[in-house]
């Protein structure tokens, strides 16, 4: 490699529950270098810097100072909420609404579950305060802010020793003056306390959802701030002095400074990176409609991408039972957030998911995971409960001597013993049958996730291609496609670290919103124009401050709409015509009818339509690294052969499902190579299992295109 030049390299680091993945891309040549290290749950920053140092050490010619920017996806905010380790936070609201967080919403995630308990509020009641003031729904003052009462509240907060304060007043999305005055009073008295105002974080109607989002922002801000500061220090110590960007839940990135101030936008940072990677790859290969399937060590995540764009939702809860779905705000078991999130389904089915037999004698898999510490039994790090990885090893799908590229040796004997003791004997099965049962049960759960993002969203899975990645994804992707009715599968190059690569193929994105709540036949069109212009002005200002890694801003407009009288809205892209006139409104209304029919199966053309929220995304485009073509174009796969080994596949009727299966070294597979399953394809970060009746074709960039034989 020639001498590095300034701004030539980019680094992406994705911290998962089991592994931390790193990717380094040469912007000039498209060369990709990857690293994978075990995550360090007690101190995630250690795993982060280990992955970076491993990348830099992989090539002596890489100058750390030539790194243009580092992009990071992390679950540190989510983990803080799930584990109940948020910062001590106070909450201020309008007089009479102190119990807003406790009351929450009167809906249940499971209607007939009498044992259901709402999660405890992130702010206990003794730290919830109210001040006399009131605005009406138009933002006009009904009761002035009581400055004396406010001073008393600030004194109480000062004595409580909190690290953060969240402020959410009624109708502050219409008029932020009272919130701004409260924030100023707190800052003067407590300059070191982090303050979040709902009118800044999410200026939209529905007071509880706005309050919940603001409280989450405040309660995780001190933790995220400390974490990102630690990472920045470690990067500087490694002589990487470039800008640190953080993946948002919506699939865009924003600077670490902005992430420290508004961490609620990065709650689902990690899963979003995988969806972005799948969308970018599918678009580059001329397949804009794909289903992203990311299976790591702890969870499996599925997301649907149409026309090259992941679906974005704001109906999401964090910290509760895993659910998905529009309506009821994505479920009621956690803490709702009203920020844009990639619409995905996440389930507890990863390589480290534990298999167990319940009290009724049924074999179960997950949601508990062995994680990175102690990990699956075969890792030999102290794990005692069998996992999906142990089952794949017992079935012959993994090579015990070639795991993580040979850096880790797996113990087949202890994996067999764990499955025998915990699963096979209680069920009266052979070890192989029990292992196969573990894999198939996990597959069934993952197929359901694929159907949730496709069939239940009104899409036919046969019209999509499944992109399988993550450390465990390629071992299951073909079987899942078979069961879900998806005819094409794509396994990208370096699938185990694809999410980290996804961090480097996205743009800087900043969100703005404004609430309207007006019928389309009654709205003044100039009001829509004025609001969008105001949001664009704010977007340009934010872009000038934050987006040094990107080009000039591009604006994406959307309107959240519903039929008049409905409770939930759909997001519809604004018509491309920049002039907002009656033709613009007619096109927008027709787009809403189409979107409603796709989502719910019907349209009501004669019903009046209501415009609820305007949304503006300011996008700073970042140049994409180019995919690198393979040097070898010999169409014969025999050069990559590693021999064969017995593998248990349910489709085979031979010796109890065991068949001698060819094994290939993926790094030696040439472009144009075509071969049929069954087959095993090995590479350092994962193993791909090709089932019978499927054919593999290696494309010019080394991706595996897998199609079902007719």
Closest CA to 410 of 418, 419, 420, 402: 402
* pLDDT category of residue 14 using cuts at 50, 70 and 90: confident
Q: Give the per-residue pLDDT at 656.
A: 63
User: Residue 188: how many CB atoms within 10 A of its CB?
Assistant: 9
Return the DSSP state at 397.
S
Pairwise CA distance, residues 467 & 282, whole Å: 8
Pairwise CA distance, residues 471 & 319, whole Å: 24
- Flag whether pLDDT at 459 surpasses 80: yes
Residue whose entry in the numeric block shows the structure tokens 């040796």: 409
Give strand ranges (E) for 472-537.
488-491, 508-519
Pairing of β 674-676 and β 694-698: antiparallel
* pLDDT category of residue 315 using cuts at 50, 70 and 90: confident
| 82, containing H or E segment | helix 76-82
| DSSP codes joined into one string, 629-647 | PPS-----GGGGEEEEEEE
Closest CA to 399 of 692, 639, 665: 665
Q: Give the per-residue pLDDT at 651.
A: 63
Burial 65-91 (b: 16+ CB within 10 A, else e): ebbbbbbbbbbbbbbbbeeeebbebbb
pLDDT in tens, 345-388: 878 788 888 899 988 888 998 778 786 667 888 988 888 899 99
How many angstroms from the chain centroid is the CA of residue 512? 20
pLDDT in tens, 529-538: 999 999 999 8
- 467, β-bridge pairs: 292, 490
User: Residue 293: how many CB atoms within 10 A of its CB?
Assistant: 29
Q: Give the per-residue pLDDT at 653.
A: 46
- Flag whether pLDDT at 652 surpasses 60: no
| pLDDT-wise least confident of 45-59, 280-294, 557-571, 588-602 | 45-59
Secondary structure of residue 138 in the 3-state scheme: coil
Closest CA to 525 of 582, 593, 568: 582
Pairing of β 134-135 and β 141-143: antiparallel
Give strand ranges (E) for 51-204.
67-73, 89-94, 128-131, 134-135, 141-143, 164-168, 194-197
Find the farthest-apart pair of alpha carbons in the chain and give their distance in angstroms, rounded: 83
Pairwise CA distance, residues 676 & 661, whole Å: 11
Name, in order, each residue with C-beta under 8 angstroms of 261's C-beta and a sequence gap of 6 or more.
221
User: 84-217, which class in CATH?
Assistant: alpha beta
| pLDDT-wise least confident of 55-69, 132-146, 173-187, 321-335 | 321-335
CATH architecture designation of domain 9-80+225-266: 2-Layer Sandwich (3.30)
pLDDT in tens, 76-134: 888 788 778 899 999 999 999 999 999 888 777 677 777 777 788 899 999 999 999 99
Closest CA to 87 of 187, 221, 268: 221
Residue whose entry in the numeric block shows the structure tokens 């730290």: 127
Pairwise CA distance, residues 361 & 426, whole Å: 8
Secondary structure of residue 661 in the 3-state scheme: strand
Return the DSSP state at 625.
P
Pairwise CA distance, residues 34 & 51, whole Å: 9
Q: Give the per-residue pLDDT at 547.
A: 56
Question: Region 59-69: what's the mean pLDDT?
Answer: 81
| pLDDT-wise least confident of 149-153, 370-374, 682-686 | 370-374
* pLDDT category of residue 326 using cuts at 50, 70 and 90: very low
Q: Give the per-residue pLDDT at 5.
A: 40
Residue whose entry in the numeric block shows the structure tokens 């040094």: 548
Secondary structure of residue 564 in the 3-state scheme: coil
Q: Are 84-217 and 269-349+442-502 the same fold in CATH?
A: no
pLDDT in tens, 233-291: 999 998 888 888 999 988 888 888 889 999 999 988 878 888 988 998 999 899 999 99
Name, in order, each residue with C-beta under 8 angstroms of 564's C-beta and a sequence gap of 6 or more.
519, 607, 608, 609, 610
The pair of structure tokens assigned to 205 is 């109607």
Pairwise CA distance, residues 187 & 165, whole Å: 10
Per-chain mean pLDDT for the chain: 86
Question: Region 469-489: what's the mean pLDDT?
Answer: 92
Question: Which is more confidently placed, 325 or 683?
Answer: 683
- CATH of 269-349+442-502, picked from 3.30.300, 3.30.420, 1.10.287, 3.40.30, is 3.30.420
Question: Which is more confidently placed, 163 or 552?
Answer: 163
- Flag whether pLDDT at 414 surpasses 90: yes
Is 7 exposed, middle or buried (CB count within 10 Å of its CB: 0-12, 13-18, 19+)?
middle
The pair of structure tokens assigned to 552 is 């000039």
Q: Give the per-residue pLDDT at 593.
A: 95
Contact indicator for 531, 516 with CB cutoff of 8 Å: yes
Q: How many residues does the chain have?
A: 710
Pairwise CA distance, residues 293 & 464, whole Å: 12
- Flag whether pLDDT at 654 surpasses 50: no
How many angstroms from the chain centroid is the CA of residue 266? 9
Share of the chain above pLDDT 70, in %: 93
Q: Give the per-residue pLDDT at 406.
A: 67
Q: Give the per-residue pLDDT at 68.
A: 84
User: Where do the domains of the chain lie?
Assistant: 9-80+225-266, 84-217, 269-349+442-502, 353-439, 508-620
Contact indicator for 435, 419 with CB cutoff of 8 Å: yes
Pairwise CA distance, residues 302 & 293, whole Å: 5
- H helical segments located in 507-618: 525-546, 582-600
Q: In whole angstroms, how far apart are CA 488 and each of 119, 366, 477, 696, 705? A: 41, 28, 10, 10, 7
Q: Give the per-residue pLDDT at 333.
A: 61
């Amino acid at each position: 490699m020639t001498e590095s030049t300034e701004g030539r390299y980019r680094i992406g680091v994705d911290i998962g529950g089991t592994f931390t993945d790193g990717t380094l891309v040469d912007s000039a040549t498209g060369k990709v270098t990857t690293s994978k290290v075990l995550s360090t749950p007690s101190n995630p920053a250690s795993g982060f810097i280990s992955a970076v140092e491993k990348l830099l050490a992989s090539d002596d010619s890489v100058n750390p100072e030539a790194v243009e920017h580092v992009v990071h996806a992390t679950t540190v905010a989510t983990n803080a909420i799930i584990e109940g380790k948020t910062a001590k936070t106070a909450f201020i609201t309008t007089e009479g609404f102190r119990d807003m967080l406790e009351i929450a919403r009167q809906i249940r995630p499971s209607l007939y579950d009498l044992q259901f308990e709402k999660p405890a509020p992130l702010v206990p009641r003794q730290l919830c305060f109210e001040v006399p003031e009131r605005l009406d729904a138009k933002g006009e003052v009904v009761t002035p802010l009581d400055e004396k009462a406010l001073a008393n509240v600030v004194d109480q907060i000062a004595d409580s020793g909190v690290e953060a304060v969240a402020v959410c007043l009624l109708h502050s999305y219409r008029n932020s003056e009272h919130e701004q005055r409260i924030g100023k009073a707190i800052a003067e008295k407590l300059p070191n306390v982090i303050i979040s105002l709902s009118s800044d974080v999410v200026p939209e109607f529905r007071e509880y959802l706005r309050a919940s989002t603001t409280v989450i922002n405040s309660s995780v801000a001190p933790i995220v701030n400390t974490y990102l500061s630690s990472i920045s220090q470690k990067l500087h110590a490694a002589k990487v002095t470039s800008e640190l960007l953080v993946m948002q839940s919506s699939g865009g990135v924003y600077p670490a400074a902005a992430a420290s101030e508004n961490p609620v936008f990065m709650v689902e940072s990690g899963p979003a990176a995988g969806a972005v990677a799948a969308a970018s790859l599918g678009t580059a290969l001329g397949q804009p409609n794909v289903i992203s399937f990311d299976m790591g060590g702890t969870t499996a995540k599925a997301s649907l991408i149409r026309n090259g764009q992941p679906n974005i939702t704001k109906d999401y809860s964090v910290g509760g039972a895993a659910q998905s779905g529009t309506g009821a705000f994505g479920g009621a078991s956690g803490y709702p957030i009203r920020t844009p999130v990639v619409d995905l389904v996440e389930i507890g089915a990863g390589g480290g998911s534990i298999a167990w037999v319940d009290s009724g004698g049924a074999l179960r898999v997950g949601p508990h995971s062995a994680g990175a510490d102690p990990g699956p039994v075969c890792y030999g790090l102290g794990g005692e409960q069998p996992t999906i990885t142990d089952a794949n090893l017992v079935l012959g799908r993994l090579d015990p001597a070639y795991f993580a590229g040979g850096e880790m040796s797996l113990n087949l004997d202890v994996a067999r013993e764990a499955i025998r003791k915990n699963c096979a004997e209680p069920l009266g099965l052979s070890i192989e049958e029990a292992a196969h049962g573990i894999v198939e049960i996990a597959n069934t759960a993952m197929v359901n996730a694929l159907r949730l993002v496709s069939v239940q969203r009104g899409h036919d899975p046969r019209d999509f291609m499944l992109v399988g990645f993550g450390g465990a994804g390629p071992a299951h992707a073909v079987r899942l496609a078979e069961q879900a009715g998806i005819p094409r599968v794509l396994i990208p190059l370096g699938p185990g670290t694809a999410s980290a690569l996804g961090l480097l193929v996205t743009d800087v994105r900043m969100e703005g919103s404004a609430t309207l709540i007006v019928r389309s036949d009654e709205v003044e069109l100039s009001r829509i124009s004025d609001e969008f212009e105001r949001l664009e002005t704010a977007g340009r200002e934010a872009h000038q401050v934050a987006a040094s890694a990107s080009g000039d801003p591009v604006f994406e407009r959307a309107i959240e709409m519903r039929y008049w009288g409905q409770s939930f809205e759909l997001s519809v892209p604004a018509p491309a015509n920049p002039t907002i006139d009656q033709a613009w409104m007619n096109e927008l209304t027709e787009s809403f009818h189409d979107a409603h029919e796709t989502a719910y199966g019907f349209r009501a053309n004669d019903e009046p339509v209501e415009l609820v929220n305007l949304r503006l995304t300011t996008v700073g485009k970042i140049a994409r690294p180019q995919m690198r073509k393979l040097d070898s174009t010999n169409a014969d796969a025999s050069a990559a052969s590693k021999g064969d080994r017995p593998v248990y596949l349910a489709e085979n009727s031979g010796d109890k499902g065991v068949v001698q299966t060819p094994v290939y070294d993926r790094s030696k597979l040439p472009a144009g190579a075509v071969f049929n399953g069954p087959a095993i394809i090995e590479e350092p970060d994962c193993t791909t299992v090709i089932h019978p009746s499927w054919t593999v074709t290696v494309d010019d960039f080394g991706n595996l295109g897998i199609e079902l034989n007719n």
